[in-house]
Chain A
Amino acid sequence: MQTKLKIIALMLGAAGLASHAVQAQEKVVIGYISDLSGLYADLEGKGGATAIQMAIDDMGGKVLGQPVEVLSVDHQNKPDIAASKAREWIDTAGATMIFAGTNSGVALATAKVAQEKKRVFFTNGAATSALTNAQCSPYTVHYAYDTVALAKSTGGAVVDTGGKSWFFLTADYAFGHALEADTAKVVKAKGGSVVGTVRAPLNASDFSSFLLQAQNSKAQVLGLANAGGDFINSMKASKEFGIDKSMKIAGLLVFLTDVKSLGLPATQGLLHTTSWYWDADDESRKWAARYEAKTKNKPTDIQAADYSATMAYLKAVEAVKSTDADKVMAHLKKTPINDFYAKGVIRPDGRMVHDMLLAEVKKPSESKGPWDLLKIVKKVPGDQVYTTKEESTCALWK
């Protein structure tokens, strides 16, 4: 009797071990790091997490036979919080992919962690072109847009309409510096000049003093190299101080939520570049309606990019039957992206190249709904706006 029990116990144990061995398949764990409560929270924030979950649900909730897990944290615009959380998730929670967005400083820091630990790293919302240039990494995919695309598209368009002398109001950190530098390059290449620049601390609430310096410079164009809450407050103050009467205002990074918050009277005619607009075509409208049903707001281009990027990543994992970063990255770089968000490819340097949209804010009389805010002036082809091979200093793309 004793021996029989022992044998049964041993067999059950062996069966348990065997099934454990079969279950040691790879599980996709996505780490989502974004600004959930600060000045950029409306651009991606909780909506981004919703978009990612929509992509997971559309893939059936499971990849490689296992449910996909999403971890999220608020980076509070602090690169050290983001980097340490990414590290913790990779080391202890089995994170296979990190999404770090809406703050260039955060993205740069997290990209380094992802490179060190060999995990796939996507960023939407962070703009600095350095992510696929001077600081490129084999594991980084810069998906939505970058400062070079914004500079060439918006900067180029404004110079073409006669804005030759520029004054920059810049957010004093990685993103602002990159955007200012890239736009200045475009302006000078087209025969314009940069009259002056002032660096404002991130999240300053009062821009009146900086704007006054801009006005005194007598430049033709005021280039706003900031975003989110900073852009909103500087735009509002520009109107108040009558700056829009003597200078042309170029919003170098503007989102749907910024325009909605400021209202059409304050932003009409503002020319800017976006990577996607909900009302651009039927496919986009359909997805935007799904998103709106969940969040009561139309999506920004970053939130749409989050969905698209997640789908691309999950499909890649399914295709190579593994979460190994090298295999997934190789697949991503040879598979074109083709969905409502973009028709594009991921280049060897990690840059996702796709067409951008030059948009103008509608006049109040032209708008027929609470989110009917922009009209698309033209589509700017992807190969014209991103860093070219000659300009790139990334070792992966030589």
Chain B
Amino acid sequence: MPALLSQLLLGLVNGSFYAILSLGLAVIFGLLNVINFAHGALFMMGAVLSWMAMNYFNVNYWVMLVAAPLVVGLFGVLIERLLLRWIYKLDHLYGLLLTLGLTLLIEGGFRSVYGVSGLAYNTPEALSGGTNLGFMFLPNYRAWVVVASLVVCFATWYAIEKTRLGAYLRAGTENPRLVEAFGVNVPLMVTLTYGFGVALAAFAGVLAAPVIQISPLMGQNLIIIVFAVVVIGGMGSIMGAILTGLGLGVIEGLTKVFYPEASATVVFVIMVVVLLIRPAGLFGSEK
């Protein structure tokens, strides 16, 4: 029983990463209708920026938690202004192709400079060490990851579902013409939303930096799972993305105990099952 509890806890940690990343993806897809394949690369950029800041400028982790999302978010705004806005009217697949190309560029660029073995990033002093919970030794940093992710996720959900700004965003996706007629600057909203989704990915990147070795490949492995999470949760459903991310992290954790060889594929098996029963996803609605 104790072993199971510890695995559940670890699953929750992974689930928090899935939740933040799928939240960013869901926000971008739900509000912009763009399949942002570059999400993994942007996640990686957040981590690499933290490393660079630490290594070259001695800027610490806490500053980077705020700074990296801002910088990468700005980069996201640039991408949206220069590249994405031209393809909104086209089929979703063009967005996928464009962002996939971006991913290859970004990851290839980092790989040629830093190789793939990765860069070491140390856990910040305040969070190092761990607590002995009795049934397992939980590194403090992993507990912090869960807390930080949950806070950010629910803050985002609240902002989108319960505030006026969020209402404008949701209305803007449903019927941009009408909302523009009311005097709301829809293109600016769209740009800022993309920037925000990207900032979420970068935030997850900074959180991940002390945990996974920072390498150009770190985004690749996660992004596929995150896409599956978003599909299962329902494209465009914010709460769906959060809950599914956490839930799937736990299920993956349990699989690692009972049949570890399948842990890389269990998410996709669930995705297939969900799509067969509820094509719009667990929390989504037919558009």
Say whether A210 contacts B215, CB under 8 Å: no
Pick out which of these stretches binds chain A: B19-27, B52-60, B89-97, B109-117.
B109-117
Q: B10 and A212: CB pair below 8 A?
A: yes
In B5-29, which residues have CB < 8 Å from any A CB? 6-7, 10-11, 13-14
Q: What are the interface flags for A178-213 relative to B under an 8 Å C-beta threshold, 1 for contact and 0 otherwise? A: 000000000000000000001111011110111011
Q: How far is the CB of A181 from chain B (nearest CB, A)?
A: 16
Assembly CA distance A229 to B217 (angstroms): 9
Is the pair B213, A236 in contact by a Cβ cutoff of 8 Å? yes
With A38-B217, A216-B3 as known contacts, state yes or no: A228 contacts B141, CB within 8 Å.
no
Q: Which of B136, B221, B265 contacts A205 (CB 8 A)?
A: B221
Query: Most chain-A Cβ atoms within 10 A of its Cβ — which of B116, B212, B261?
Result: B116
- Chain B residues in 8 Å Cβ range of A297: 115
Interface centre among B108, B123, B213, B257 (most CB of A within 10 A): B213
Once the chains are docked, how many angstroms separate the CA of A308 from the CA of B14?
Answer: 44
Interface code B119-133, partner A: CB below 8 Å = 1, 0 otherwise?
110010000001000
B256 at the interface (CB under 8 A from A): yes
Complex Cα gap A258–B14 (Å): 24
Q: What 0/1 readout, one digit per residue, does chain B (184-217) give for beta carbons within 8 Å of chain A? A: 0000000000000000000000000001110101
* Chain B residues with CB under 8 A of A205: 212, 218, 221-222
Q: How far is the CB of A311 from chain B (nearest CB, A)?
A: 26
Residues of chain B within 8 A of A199, CB atoms compared:
260-261
Is A42 within 8 A of B117, CB to CB? Answer: yes
- Residues on A with C-beta less than 8 A from B120 are 236, 261-263, 266
Once the chains are docked, how many angstroms separate the CA of A203 from the CA of B215?
12
Q: Is A232 an interface residue (CB 8 A)?
A: yes
Contact check: which of A201, A212, A236 meets B263 at CB < 8 Å? Answer: A201
Instruction: Give the distance in Å from the alpha carbon of A201 to the alpha carbon of B11 in the complex.
Output: 16
Given A37-B111, A232-B118, does the pair A209, B212 have CB atoms closer than 8 Å? no
Residues A209 and B141 in contact in the complex (CB < 8 Å), given A201-B264, A232-B118:
no
Q: Does B101 contact A (CB under 8 A)?
A: no
Task: Decide: A209 and B261 in contact? CB cutoff 8 A.
Answer: no
- B137 at interface, CB cutoff 8 A: yes
B240 at interface (Cβ–Cβ under 8 A)? no
**A397 an interface residue at 8 Å Cβ cutoff?**
no
Asked if A209 and B7 make an inter-chain contact with CB atoms under 8 angstroms apart, the answer reads: yes
Interface status of A242 (Cβ within 8 A of chain B): yes
Contact in complex: B260, A210 (CB < 8 Å): yes
Tell me the bound Cα distance from A172 to B116 in angstroms. Answer: 21
A58 within 8 A of B: no
Shortest beta-carbon distance, A196 to chain B, in Å? 11
Q: Can you list 18 A-B pairs with a CB-CB distance of less than 8 A?
A: A38-B116, A39-B116, A41-B111, A42-B115, A42-B116, A172-B261, A199-B260, A205-B212, A205-B222, A208-B13, A208-B14, A209-B253, A209-B260, A213-B257, A216-B3, A232-B213, A233-B213, A237-B211
Given contacts A37-B116, A208-B10, list 19 more A-B pairs with CB under 8 A. Answer: A172-B261, A198-B260, A199-B261, A204-B221, A206-B212, A209-B263, A212-B10, A213-B256, A216-B6, A229-B116, A232-B213, A233-B213, A237-B211, A240-B123, A240-B142, A258-B117, A260-B117, A261-B119, A261-B213
Footprint of A on B, CB under 8 Å?
Answer: 3, 6-7, 10-11, 13-14, 108, 111, 115-120, 123, 130, 136-137, 139, 141-142, 211-213, 215, 217-218, 221-222, 253, 256-257, 260-261, 263-265
For the complex of A and B, 10 pairs with smallest distance between CB atoms: A261-B117, A201-B264, A209-B256, A42-B117, A41-B116, A205-B221, A42-B115, A263-B120, A257-B117, A209-B10
